[in-house]
Structure 1
Amino acid sequence: MKVIQCNATTNDANSYLINDSILIDTGLNGERLAREIESHIDLNQLELIILTHCHYDHTAAVPLLVELSGAKVGVHRADGAMLADDMGSVSTFFGQKAPAIEPDILYEDGDMIKLDEIEALQIIHTPGHTPGGICLYEPFSKSLFSGDTVFASGGFGRTDFEGGSARQLTESIEKLAEIDVETLYPGHGPVIKSDANRQIQLSMRASRTIW
């Protein structure tokens, strides 16, 4: 699996280009992200944008990227209606209106996104930060794209926005702790390139203190 990190700005949400055709999350600045992607591929090669959850800092650039590339958009079913909702998307937190996003694909837990003859991304429903938060796991490379569920150094997503649940988040992290993860690609912060299970265990221990 080929992974290229394509952050539009230093403090933006992380965006990941997979096998030159799939983008996980878009961040805030569509014009900068488009230029970054174009330094690696032609935009018309982009086929699918997968959103780990509905929050504005991960989705704001979607409309422009779709316009430029024609890519389809996928999100978990539980977050689909929240994408265009000012409170559900927390766009009001950024002083903005929610982007006009109509997802083409509504994922469920366990869905598989084929990458090639060997590798595929498995959808893991991880509610808590949002009702429809997801992680994506590629078992051949033991890679986990964790959105805002877990971060490096024991970090984990907030639960004080609309639809958040501390109990559900802890349960979601406990689910992730059972998976064999070598590389962690979080929604914010640094990528963990080895022994990512240890980072997830730290997040699990820390999350158990919040409820």
Structure 2
Amino acid sequence: MFFPDSNSSVKLGRSVIKDVYYFGESPMLDCNQFILVDDATGELSLFDSGNGISLKGLLEGMENLGLHYQKITRVFLTHEHVDHVLGLYPLIELLEKNPPTIHAFGETAKILREGNESKIFPGNLGINPATFGLEIIPLDIVDLKLDELIRIGSNFTMKVFHTPGHSHGSVCYYEETKKILIPGDLVFTGGSFGRYDFPGGSLDSLINSIKFVNDLDIKYLLPGHMNISDNGNQQVDYSYRMVQSIKSFF
């Protein structure tokens, strides 16, 4: 089992704004996760599933905030990498009587539907499913459409933007009214941005995608790693300037 101590560590969570919750990544090879609550039904939408090993910690963290994991009805993925999708497998098993629907875009949906290990585990990471004690199996996936509007109760309408660069199937979720961006591994706080050396990655695409989201009105930046921010536009602009400086060396 990979990083066994993280299996029992509670993922500390907190409210970002009403009905939006943030759970920070575990110490190694995990991701930040976000939960949005349907104000009408109490159903939960989970954004990214983590590395699988951290699932127990997530569920305990949810319960500490009065969020019951049995109410997770949908999982929305930002991209296909190990630290964002491995939690799907134990979560589906745990909720086998009422499994959540899994939503992904383009290449990410294809990879998960095929159970393509080589794309979920980029070769230069030097890890495989056995490292995590998991078996990668084909999954039923609901395909997201370009610019699709995802309604979560009456309180959230998330728009799907295709933002390749870190991976070919990467997407961001944007809530225009509340100015929330969930960018996965496209852009982080502190001027950081996603790696582009994995299969399907591209520096040019990454720059174009960051340029695109830099034009959005963002207050809450909820990235896949590192800290979140309530000064989203400033953070994204900083990352855009930093990634442009990288390009100048090539």
TM over 0.5, shorter chain: yes
Structure 2: runs of 5 or more not aligned: 1-17, 38-42, 130-134
Aligned-partner Cα distance in 1 for 2:174–2:101: 20
Q: Is the 8 A contact 2:210 2:236 kept in 1?
A: yes
Superposition deviation, residue 8 in structure 1:
6.1
The question of 1:189 aligning with 2:226 is answered: yes
Q: Give a deviation string over 1:125-162, Cα, whole Å, max 9, x none.
A: 10010001011111111010110000001111000000
**Match for 1:85 among 116, 119, 141?**
116
Question: What residue is the counterpart of 2:44 in the other structure?
Answer: 21
Structure 1: runs of 5 or more not aligned: none
Superposition deviation, residue 101 in structure 1:
4.8
TM-score by length of 2: 0.78
Aligned-partner Cα distance in 2 for 1:103–1:130: 21
The question of 1:54 aligning with 2:80 is answered: yes
- How is 1:132-147 mapped onto 2 (pairs within 5 angstroms)? 132-147=169-184
The question of 1:199 aligning with 2:235 is answered: yes
Question: What residue is the counterpart of 1:33 in the other structure?
Answer: 58
In structure 2, the CA distance between the partners of 1:174 and 1:125, relative to structure 1 (3 Å rule), is same
Question: What residue is the counterpart of 2:101 in the other structure?
Answer: 72
Aligned-partner Cα distance in 2 for 1:94–1:44: 34
In structure 2, the CA distance between the partners of 1:5 and 1:95, relative to structure 1 (3 Å rule), is same
Q: Is the 8 A contact 1:125 1:134 kept in 2?
A: yes
Question: What residue is the counterpart of 1:108 in the other structure?
Answer: 145
Q: Give a deviation string over 1:56-96, Cα, whole Å, max 9, x none.
A: 00111111112223111111122122233222112652522
TM-score by length of 1: 0.91
Amino acid paired to 2:48: D
Question: What residue is the counterpart of 1:42 in the other structure?
Answer: 68
Aligned-partner Cα distance in 2 for 1:119–1:172: 23
Q: Is the 8 A contact 1:66 1:72 kept in 2?
A: no
Amino acid paired to 2:46: L
Aligned-partner Cα distance in 1 for 2:241–2:146: 24
Aligned-partner Cα distance in 1 for 2:33–2:88: 11
Superposition deviation, residue 201 in structure 1:
0.8
Aligned-partner Cα distance in 1 for 2:84–2:104: 12
Q: Give a deviation string over 1:29-57, Cα, whole Å, max 9, x none.
A: 22322333333322221010111000000
Instruction: Give the root-mean-square deviation of aligned CA atoms.
Output: 1.9
Q: Is the 8 A contact 2:122 2:198 kept in 1?
A: no
Amino acid paired to 1:16: F
Comparing 157-166 and 13-22, the one that deviates more:
13-22
